[in-house]
Amino acid sequence: MKDKTKAILTGRDPEAHHGAVNTPVYHASTILYPSLDAIRGRVPMTYKYGRSGTPTSRALETAITEIEGGAGCVLTPSGASAVALAILSVVKAGDHILMVDSAYAPTRRLCDTFLLKMNIETEYYAPNIGAGIVDKLRDNTSLIFTESPGSQTFDVQDIPAICAVAKTHNVKTAIDNTWASPLYFDPFSHGIDLSAQALTKYVVGHADALLGSVTANDATLESVKDTHAQLGHCAGPDDIYLALRGLRTLPTRLAQHARNALDIATWLNSLPFVQDVLYPALPGAPGHDIWKRDFKGGSGLFAVRLAPCSEDQLAAMLDNMRLFGMGYSWGGFESLIVPAAVKRTAETYEETGQLLRLHIGLEDVDDLKADLADGFTRAGYVLSSSSE
């Protein structure tokens, strides 16, 4: 079955739900046991307590596992909690972990505060390190965490090269796979052990719920499940339902996000004051070759670096957008724009212009271009007549 079909079919069991096409929302903490034998564990029970799973959560876990690959999956209340769970499932006090320098800012914060407090040392590495990661390994390195494309600058990592090194040295690998969603990057066929995702973004797809998932291979699944249970990291049924509902249209939405994004990225690339378009799906953009080799599609999120401008010019642009909203998160049907800032510690990173992060939604691209063009003009940039 192709992924598009899996997105429609997996995790559904209408016969178990009176014919309802979608698995309904089960609100449950207490699950009643039919007998002493059952509560003593002598008779198997599929569901034992709301926190450890209901038909609603199992439906989404099954669907994500089947689409993303891996041996199984658990759901968490947010993408941030999924990242934390993936890390906590495989590390212990005294360990050293390698974290990509282009990681999502709250992931860095977890490393620099919570993990540090737990006596787990984080070392940041350059996103383009590839097989060179071998030089960073220590006797106590337990995890290499990747995020590809990374946050803000969208660096694409050579995941197969990193995983090959990790396997040889018996080190676990994890990825934040949110940008590509379960559809456009197969972490497990590229050698990853654990994949964390913010389902908040494309799977929910409507900017109205927070949810995360951690999918694991055979070797790490037990530890993920156990850590998930001990932390009580379960997600709420209404949010899970919204993600299940969103999943059914994910292939169609994501393909359109990617088409719109490529169109706008190509146009931006032609403008005289645009220094860089950081969209790996754009031919010639940084990371395009690895993206083409490893990914099955693009998404709607990328960054653009403009020639420098003042805070007032930026405000003139961003405060008056008609279609692009200014707000965090992404992956919903609507377009968003935010000023982006890069934090790097593994390498010197020079910010030469004004970086903006765009999420390209499902609106008409001509309308979106007109909104951006008006914004650029308000900021004082001059569009050449050929590109207006």
Ligand X SMILES: Cc1ncc(COP(=O)(O)O)c(C=O)c1O
Binding site for ligand X (CB under 6 A): 78-80, 83, 104, 151, 176, 178, 198, 200, 210, 212, 329
Nearer of residues 142 and 146 to ligand X, judged by Cβ: 146
Smallest distance from the beta carbon of 249 to ligand X, in angstroms? 19
**Residue 30, phi then psi, degrees to nearest 5:** -75, 135
Pairing mode, strands 96-100 and 141-147? parallel
Is the Cβ–Cβ distance between 197 and 182 less than 8 Å? yes
Query: Cβ distance 180 to 51 under 8 Å?
Result: no
Q: 201 catalytic, yes or no?
A: yes
Sign of the dihedral defined by the CA atoms of residues 6, 240, 249, 187, in that order: negative
Q: Report how far apart, in Å, the C-alpha atoms of 126 and of each of 98, 287, 346, 347 are.
A: 10, 14, 6, 7
Catalytic residue among 58, 95, 104, 279: 104
Least distance to ligand X, CB of residue 147, Å: 6
Of 107 and 273, nearer to ligand X (C-beta) is 107
Sign of CA dihedral 175, 201, 17, 46: positive
Annotate 307-331 with b (16+ C-beta within 10 A) or e (fewer): eebeeebbebbbeebebbeeeeebb
Shortest Cβ contact with ligand X: which residue?
A: 79
Q: Measured from the CB atom, is 144 or 274 closer to ligand X?
A: 144
Shortest spacing between CB 152 and ligand X, in angstroms? 9
Cα–Cα distance list, 182 to 81, 162, 217 (Å): 18, 20, 15
- What is the closest distance, in whole angstroms, from the C-beta atom of residue 198 to ligand X in the complex? 3
Distance CA 102, CA 346 (A): 10
Q: Is 241 a catalytic residue?
A: no
Compare residues 16 and 105 and give the one whose CB is closer to ligand X: 105
- Which H or E element spans position 112? none
Q: What is the dihedral of CA 200, 204, 207, 210, to 10 degrees?
A: -40
Nearest CB to ligand X, comparing residues 78 and 122: 78
Catalytic-role residue among 58, 201, 248, 305: 201
Minimal distance, residue 376 CB to ligand X, in Å: 25
Which residue of the set 33, 47, 48, 51 is catalytic? 51
Nearest to 294 by CA among 145, 165, 192, 167: 192
CB of 199 to ligand X, least distance (A): 7
| Closer CB to ligand X, 102 or 273, in the complex | 102
The dihedral built from the CA positions of residue 74, 77, 79 and 85, taken in this order, carries a sign that is negative
> Is 176 known to be catalytic?
yes
